[in-house]
């Protein structure tokens, strides 16, 4: 019988964690050892690669991960902000420092997620009741230099190297981004990406948020549906400040634009429960098709509110903000922080 509505269920598998306690330890080894050489065994009985047999392949998987502990998954985030530091001088084109971080890392009902490049600020995040996520910016770098499964391994190594100094590795991972040039027409790339996402979720146990540069995708529904099984898709529907101003900062207009994007993905079979909205908050110059696009201080303020209210009305499963440190207009830190506060004044998603 079909469900009356979308349903989200907590699920994870972490290779070699036979008893699913998020630790690979002697308990898992004992399960494997007790069934070594047998066939017809389950994952919990040491059949870690689902081949049906408990053998040296399973032993090697366990050995490679022995001693690893995975953090318990926080509840699915509703609001997430990409907050990667660049301690350049005030007014620099790429500039995100402690003060900007502090204004996004605020106490929030239900908590927020901060996606970062390391776990150096983990303690500050936890102090506010928020959660740390991994931000991986290089998904489109060196495509096909490894397999999709190999890229998942590389991302996992990045997480191990950068997010275990001050605690357990985070569960949530943000990937930037689907290749806008390859996805529409290259079946090999689509399979590469599907393999990467599958392994990150099923083998490494991560919850993945995948940025998508397509506002209105019109094809490859089977591939979108496959991805949605293993990750959340963050659609980049970027409405720039000048565009919003030109439509009289109309909430109904911004809402219609975001709704068009949501409908386009859902028409391809992406469940609404797996679809997020991503928006750009960069201080871009005039003529840019994303971010501020050179509008005045007051006009950017009202555009941010109109965008936020429109997005809230559509009701995406989650919202992720991006590009807080991009400052092509060279505005002051005080202005950057003010616009963060304006963004936070509208409840999202």
Q: What's the pLDDT score for residue 72?
A: 57
> What is residue 75's predicted lDDT score, i.e. its pLDDT?
62
For the chain, the domain total comes to 2
Residue 56, pLDDT score: 86
Q: Is residue 311 part of a domain?
A: yes
Question: Residue 254: which residues within 8 A CB-CB, separation 6 or more?
Answer: 239, 244, 247, 306, 307, 309, 310, 311
Verify that 301 and 187 share a domain, yes or no.
yes
Domain endpoint, select from 13, 41, 69: 69
CATH of residue 11's domain is: 1.10.1330.10
Same domain, 193 and 235: yes
Give the pLDDT confidence score for residue 136 in this predicted structure. Answer: 98
306 vs 58 pLDDT, higher one: 306
**CATH number, domain containing residue 241:** 3.20.20.80
Mean pLDDT (the chain) is 92
Residues 322, 243 within the same domain? yes
The pLDDT value given to residue 289: 96
Assess whether 91 and 14 both reside in one domain: no
Residue 74, in any domain of the structure: no
- Predicted pLDDT at 29: 81
Q: What is the mean pLDDT of residues 20-45?
A: 84
With the CA atoms of 53, 149, 164 and 277 taken in that order, what torsion angle do they form, in degrees rounded to the nearest 10?
-120
Asked if the model's pLDDT at residue 101 lies above 90, the reply is yes
State the Cα–Cα distance between residues 85 and 81, nearest whole angstrom. 12
**Whole domain around residue 6: which residue ranges?**
1-69
Q: Is residue 92 part of a domain?
A: yes
Binning pLDDT at 50, 70 and 90, where does residue 3 land?
very low
Residue 309 lies in a domain: yes
pLDDT per residue as tens digits for the range 250-267: 999 999 999 999 999 999
Given pLDDT bands bounded at 50, 70 and 90, which one contains residue 13?
Answer: low
Residues 268 and 229 in one domain: yes
Region label for 169, one of left (φ > 0), alpha (ψ between -120 and 50) or beta (otherwise)? beta
Residues 16 and 123 both lie in one domain = no
Q: Are residues 164 and 38 in the same domain?
A: no
- In the predicted structure, residue 74 carries a pLDDT above the cut 60: no
Segment 307-315 mean pLDDT: 98
pTM over 0.85: no
């Amino acid at each position: 019988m079909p469900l009356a509505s979308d349903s989200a269920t907590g699920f994870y598998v972490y290779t070699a964690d036979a008893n699913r306690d998020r630790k690979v330890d002697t308990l898992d080894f004992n399960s494997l050892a007790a069934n070594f050489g047998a066939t017809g065994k389950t994952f919990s009985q040491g059949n870690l690669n689902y081949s049906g047999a408990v053998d040296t392949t399973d032993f090697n998987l366990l050995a490679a991960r022995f001693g690893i502990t995975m953090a318990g998954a926080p509840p699915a985030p509703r609001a997430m902000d990409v907050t990667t530091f660049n301690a350049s001088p005030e007014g620099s084109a790429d500039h995100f420092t402690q003060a900007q971080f502090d204004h996004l890392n605020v106490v929030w009902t239900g908590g927020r997620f901060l996606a970062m490049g390391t776990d150096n600020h983990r303690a500050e995040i936890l102090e506010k009741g928020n959660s740390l996520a991994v931000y991986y910016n290089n998904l489109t770098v060196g495509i096909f230099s490894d397999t999709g499964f190999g890229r998942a391994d590389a991302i996992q190594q990045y997480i191990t190297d950068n997010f275990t100094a001050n605690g357990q590795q985070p569960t949530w991972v943000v990937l930037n981004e689907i290749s806008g040039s390859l996805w529409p027409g290259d079946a090999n790339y689509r399979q590469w990406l599907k393999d990467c996402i599958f392994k990150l979720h099923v083998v490494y146990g991560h919850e993945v948020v995948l940025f998508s540069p397509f506002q209105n995708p019109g094809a490859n529904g089977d591939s979108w549906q496959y991805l949605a099984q293993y990750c959340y898709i963050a659609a980049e529907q970027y409405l720039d400040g000048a565009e919003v101003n030109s439509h009289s900062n109309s909430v109904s207009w911004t809402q219609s634009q975001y709704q068009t994007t949501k409908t386009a993905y859902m028409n391809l079979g992406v469940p609404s429960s797996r679809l997020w909205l991503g928006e750009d908050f960069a201080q871009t110059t005039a003529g840019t098709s994303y971010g501020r696009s050179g509008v005045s201080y007051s006009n950017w303020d009202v555009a941010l509110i109109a965008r936020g209210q429109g997005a809230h009305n559509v009701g995406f499963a989650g919202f992720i903000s991006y590009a807080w440190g991009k400052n092509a207009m060279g505005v002051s830190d005080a202005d950057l922080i003010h616009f963060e506060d304006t963004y936070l004044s509208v409840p999202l998603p």
